[in-house]
Chain A
Amino acid sequence: MQITVDMTLCESHGQCVFAAPEIFSFDDDDRLVHEASPPDALRDKAEKSAAVCPVRAITVSPASPPTAS
């Protein structure tokens, strides 16, 4: 599973951190950091995070193709 967060949208609401602390956390400057490819066992939590983000910054996608950089 692949998680992307659009940091131009994220307003540090923290709803994703509440819903899935295994995946999301904040650094000391209140910037969101996240696990890019968490284990599939966390899928429900990841989707819950995407659903509660007030600015819809989170995308959860199934595959993990690390293509062009």
Chain B
Amino acid sequence: MRAADHRELVVVGASLAGLRAARCLREQGFTGALTIVGDEPHPPYDRPPLSKRVLSAPGRPVRPELPVPNGLRARWLLGRAAVRLDPAARAVTLADGTRLTYDGLVVATGSTARGRPPGEPPLPPGVVTLRGWDDALALRAALTEGHPLVVVGAGFLGGEIAAAARERGLDVTLVEAASQPLEGALGATAGAYVAALHREAGIVLRTGTTVEGFLTGADGRLAGVHLGDGTTVAAGTAVLAWGGVPSTGWLAGSGLAVDGGVHCDPWLRVLRTDGSAVPDVVAAGDVVRVPQPLAGGARMALGHWTNAVEQGAAAAAALLAGQDPDGTPAPFRAVPSFWSDLHGARIRSVGLPGAADETRVVEHDLTGRRLEIAYHREGRLVGALTVGRTGRLASYRRALEEHLASGTV
């Protein structure tokens, strides 16, 4: 029999990436103590449904729980935020003063919705963001009142919120600073395709304009949104869907490199500001900023479900391998993939379309809800996108996997 394992591993962030890392630590044979810290009061749940069926489906919404495996044997500290990391002392401090020492740490604190830009006046009641379950319930309640909705930002999140509200019959205006939705992420062709889907569904899409301010009624609540082109759109609710901010506030003063996300090496080991790896600390999920070979090695945070799952598993493996003298962890090289459901169109992508300098449209059919685009950078495939053609993605993905494995990108 193996000697008892006296190590203590701590996971901060009790959501998709953190839970996956915890599960993989156990699956890979870790038998010591495992503590999972999360600042939300809820056990882990899945976020993608929050901008889709949780907003649109009739009846009482059900929180989409993530299953916790039976054999996890974790100590859960929920509703408690980590506020400080001291890597030299190997300790995490919680808001209530609890100090947890660790032999290994997984950072999986995700990201939050970007709110009011710093320096701007406070937002009036009626202006909201969507990241968590409580946000989703509040937004859903606002939508059921039926007042006109303005969504700021026509990315995936904003687009899905607008679509869900439209499905409920609301007047919806979707405001986008770029000239097409998702132009930066998917290029002009896919952007125009998505724009057409929105307009076909009856959403008023206002591109090339930004929000200048909010109009309030006599009760102090939101009454309208002022746009950069001088017009004002009436609104009972406005959702800010203009991007996320990685949750790294608790790492301030730890010596870690955290601008734009926790910087990691290709093994998902967390880096200090001087570029050296912190021993026994790994990270996974939306909070991570790691060099992306498909984007020419640029450091990026991804913010995709599959990325959080795959990094959770890889970070767990790297943490255990780092503690094993014979361990040889493999670098994290998964092909990114993403999905979004808009007005019945199943948008699926692999790789990094946003890194492309050239798009090749293979099929384009709006009425049949079909689209296939290959994305290239310096003549090499870096991504692909389909609508209603998921079957075709598999071969693109295989090609990307081969590029990544051979190190030719």
Contact = CB atoms under 8 A, between A and B. Distances in A.
Given A52-B306, A52-B309, A54-B306, A14 B67 contact: no
A51 B67 CA distance: 11
Contact of B348 (A13, A21, A27, A52): A13
B306 A25 contact: no
Interface string A16-39: 011001000111101000000000
B150 interface: no
Identify which of B67, B335, B394 gathers the most chain A CB atoms within 10 Å of its CB: B394
B394 A21 contact: yes
A17 B339 CA distance: 15
Contact of B389 (A17, A30, A52, A54): A30
Contacts of A52: 306, 309-310
A24 to B, nearest CB: 9
Contact of A30 (B306, B309, B350, B390): B390
A30 B388 contact: yes
A15 B337 contact: yes
B341 interface: yes
A18 B306 CA distance: 12
B209 to A, nearest CB: 33
B390 A26 contact: yes
Interface residues of A, number: 17
B337 A18 contact: yes
A13 B48 contact: no
B270 interface: no
A26 B394 CA distance: 10
Interface string B379-409: 0000000001111011001000000000000
Nearest to A27: B391
A26 B389 CA distance: 9
A54 B48 contact: yes
Given A18-B397, A54-B48, A56-B67, A13 B309 contact: no
Contacts of A27: 391
B306 A14 contact: no
Given A17-B391, A21-B394, A11 B309 contact: no
A12 interface: yes
A18 B395 CA distance: 9
B393 A14 contact: yes
B305 interface: yes
A26 B337 CA distance: 17
B305 A54 contact: yes
Nearest to B46: A54
Nearest to B369: A30
Interface of A: 11-15, 17-18, 21, 25-28, 30, 51-52, 54, 56
8 contacts: A11-B339, A13-B390, A14-B390, A14-B394, A18-B394, A25-B391, A28-B391, A30-B390
Nearest first, the 3 closest Cβ-Cβ pairs linking A and B are A26-B391, A14-B390, A12-B390
